[in-house]
Amino acid sequence: MDNCIFCKIAAKQIPSSIVYEDEELLAFKDINPAAPVHVLIIPKKHIATLSDADAQDGVLLGKMLALAPKIAKEQRCDVQTGSDGQVSGGYKTLINTGPDGGQEVYHLHVHVIGGPKPWRGQR
Active site residues: 109
Give the whole-angstrom CA distance, residue 17 versus residue 44. Answer: 15
Near ligand 5GP by CB under 6 A: residue from 10, 19, 25, 28: 28
Residue nearest to Zn ion (CB): 4
What is the distance between the alpha carbons of residues 114 and 89, in angstroms, rounded to a whole number?
8
Q: How many residues bind ligand 5GP (CB under 6 A)?
A: 13
Q: Using CA atoms, how far apart are residues 42 and 10, in angstroms rounded to an integer? A: 8
Q: Given candidates 29, 44, 46, 70, which one binds Zn ion under the rule CB under 5 A?
A: 46
Note whether 103 binds ligand 5GP by CB under 6 A: yes
In terms of Cα–Cα distance, which of 44, 14, 13, 51 is closest to 27?
44
Site string for Zn ion, 3-42 (x = CB under 5 A): -x-xx-----------------------------------
Query: Using CA atoms, how far apart are residues 91 and 84, in angstroms rounded to an integer?
Result: 21
Task: Scan residues 7-26 and list those touching ligand 5GP (CB under 6 A).
Answer: 16
Beta strands in the chain (DSSP E): 18-21, 25-29, 37-43, 80-81, 87-88, 91-94, 110-114
Which residues contribute to the site for Zn ion (CB under 5 A)? 1, 4, 6-7, 46, 107
Query: What is the contact surface with ligand 5GP in residues (CB under 6 A)?
Result: 5, 16, 28-32, 40, 96, 102-105
